């Protein structure tokens, strides 16, 4: 289907409004900084494109015809809208937008929320931050209900997205401090089956990854307590249960040494999760890149030292990505 060209452009509308406001072609030219013949030609071309005479040239100052009156009613709004669009685009190129919605996975909320609010303060007029599960945020991103997500799923199979890896960390075993570290698959199974296993729900990305890990190592566990939030998983462990979690998840939940818990490596090779910033491609200029750099800096300078102190045995397995 062919696209029909419009009978006017923005500059022609500006010239038209200048004539309306100044009463003559010559005065409009002086106002616009162009010659009177240039204004006259622009108005003639505009009238030819529309197919209607816009001014009654038999009177002075020039008077609008009925068609000219209709055009003036809409032209002022169009010029105003175009000026706003142009301004918004310039702001976006400078990394500033009018409205932004961000979904942040629960386990990152404590680590980055303050810096997110600070970074966006001078760049976004209206910011909405939604904390929750990666899976629901990913669906919202694809349906344009969210603009950025910070989560565990980088949506690698989806085209039209930009991705900035932020942080990688290991999964580990969380259990009462009386439980020894399992050295092999059988000892891990014994630990997981001898105590109530506390799960992340399958609605969470981490919960789904943990279940895949258990299937891969052929460990079947009965249904028990399941939680969306890291706080619930930590509470279950403090009540005598055992779980698979990560440093950031425990930190988000408020874990502190002295709670009567131990964290042990999983004995069956690397099992890790990666946190990524995902945004729709080329919709927000430099903003997502600058935001990713800011998040990396706060993770490296503020979050990582605390995590390495709190979980020293896993210090080398926690990495800020670039």
Q: How confident is the model at residue 25 (pLDDT cuts 50, 70, 90)?
A: very high
Q: Which residues of 202-231 are buried (b: 16+ CB within 10 A; e: fewer)?
A: eebbbbbbbeebbeeeebeeeeeebbbbbe
In the prediction, which pLDDT does 79 show?
A: 82
Work out the percent of the chain whose per-residue pLDDT is above 90: 72
5 inside domain: no
The answer to whether the beta carbons of residues 211 and 219 sit under 8 Å apart is no
Across the strands, what pairs with 105?
Answer: 132
pLDDT for position 192: 97
Does residue 265 sit within a domain? yes
pLDDT of residue 2: 56
Return the closest-CA partner of residue 9 out of 79, 83, 111: 79
Instruction: Tell me, yes or no, whether 155 and 286 share the same domain.
Output: yes
Q: 29 pLDDT exceeds 90?
A: yes
- 142 within domain boundaries: yes
- The number of beta carbons lying within 10 Å of the beta carbon of residue 27 is 17
C-alpha distance from residue 8 to each of 12, 15, 27, 72 (Å): 6, 11, 21, 13
Domain-embedded: residue 61: yes
Q: Tell me, yes or no, whether 307 lies in a domain.
A: no
Quick one: average pLDDT of 288-309? Answer: 95
Under 8 Å between Cβ of 276 and 205:
no
If you average pLDDT over residues 93-105, what whole number do you get? 81
Both 279 and 160 in one domain: the answer is yes
CATH of the domain at 30: 1.10.10.10
Residues 285 and 197 grouped into a single domain? no
Query: Per-residue pLDDT tens for 258-298?
Result: 999 999 999 988 899 999 999 999 888 889 999 999 999 99
Q: Please give the tally of structural domains in the chain.
A: 3
Q: Show which of 68, 92, 116 is a domain's final residue.
A: 92
How far is the C-alpha of 183 from the C-alpha of 18, rounded, in Å?
A: 83
Question: Same domain for 43 and 55?
Answer: yes
Q: Is the predicted pLDDT of residue 189 greater than 70, yes or no?
A: yes
**Whole-number Cα distances in Å, 10 to 32, 49, 78, 79, 86:** 14, 14, 8, 7, 12
Q: Are 188 and 182 in contact (CB under 8 A)?
A: yes
Mean of pLDDT over the chain: 91
Both 176 and 213 in a single domain?
yes
Please check whether residues 26 and 106 belong to one and the same domain: no
**Confidence class of residue 161 from pLDDT cuts 50, 70 and 90?**
very high
Question: Quick one: which of 179, 93, 174, 104 has its CA closest to 136?
Answer: 104
**Residues 178, 206: one domain?**
yes
Same domain, 133 and 181: no
Among residues 96, 97, 50, the alpha carbon closest in space to that of 74 is found at 50
**Domain encompassing residue 258:** 172-270
| CATH code of the domain covering residue 284 | 3.40.190.10
The pLDDT, as a whole number, for residue 84 is: 66
pLDDT over threshold 60, residue 95 = no
* Average pLDDT over every residue of 225-236: 95
Q: Which two tokens stand for residue 139?
A: 């669906």
What is the percent of the chain with per-residue pLDDT over 70, rounded to a whole number?
94
Decide which of 92, 113, 148 is a domain's last residue: 92
Classified as helix, coil or strand, 3 is coil
Which band of pLDDT confidence, cut at 50, 70 and 90, is reported for residue 5? low
- Residue 102 falls inside a structural domain: yes
Establish if 1 belongs to a structural domain.
no
- Whether the per-residue pLDDT at 80 is higher than 90: the answer is no
Q: Are 227 and 198 in contact (CB under 8 A)?
A: yes
Whether residue 61 is found in the same domain as residue 47? yes
From residue 41, give the alpha-carbon distance in Å to each of 35, 37, 47, 73, 90: 10, 6, 10, 22, 31
* Residue 125 and residue 245 in one domain: no
Domain shared by 114 and 138, yes or no: yes
What local confidence, expressed as pLDDT, does residue 4 receive? 62
């Amino acid at each position: 289907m062919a696209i029909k060209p419009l009978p006017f452009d923005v500059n022609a509308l500006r010239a038209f409004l200048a004539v309306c406001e100044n009463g003559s072609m010559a005065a409009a030219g002086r106002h616009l900084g162009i010659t009177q013949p240039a204004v006259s030609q622009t108005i003639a071309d505009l009238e030819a494109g529309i197919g209607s005479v816009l001014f009654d040239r038999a009177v002075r100052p020039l008077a609008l015809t009925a068609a000219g009156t209709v055009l003036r009613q809409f032209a002022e709004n169009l010029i105003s809208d175009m000026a706003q669009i142009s301004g918004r685009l310039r702001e976006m190129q400078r990394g500033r937008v009018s409205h932004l919605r961000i979904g942040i996975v629960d386990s990152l909320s404590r680590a980055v929320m303050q810096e997110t609010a600070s970074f966006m303060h001078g760049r976004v007029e209206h910011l909405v931050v939604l904390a929750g599960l990666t899976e629901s945020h990913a669906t919202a991103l694809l349906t344009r209900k969210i603009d950025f997500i910070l989560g565990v799923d980088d949506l690698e199979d989806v085209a039209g997205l930009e991705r900035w890896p932020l942080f990688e960390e290991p999964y580990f075993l969380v259990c009462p401090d009386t439980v020894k570290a399992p050295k092999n698959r059988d000892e891990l199974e014994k630990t997981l089956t001898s105590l109530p296993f506390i799960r992340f729900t399958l609605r969470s990305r981490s919960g789904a990854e943990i279940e895949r890990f258990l299937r891969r190592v052929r460990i079947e566990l009965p249904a028990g307590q399941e939680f969306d939030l890291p706080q619930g998983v930590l509470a279950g462990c403090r009540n005598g249960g055992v779980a698979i979690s990560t440093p950031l998840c425990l930190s988000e939940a408020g874990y502190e040494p002295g709670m009567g818990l131990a964290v042990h490596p999983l004995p069956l090779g690397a099992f890790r999760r990666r946190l990524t910033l995902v945004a729709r491609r080329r919709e927000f200029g430099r903003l997502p890149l600058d935001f990713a750099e800011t998040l990396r800096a706060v993770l490296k300078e503020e979050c990582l030292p605390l995590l390495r102190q709190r979980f020293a045995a896993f210090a080398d397995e926690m990495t800020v990505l670039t």
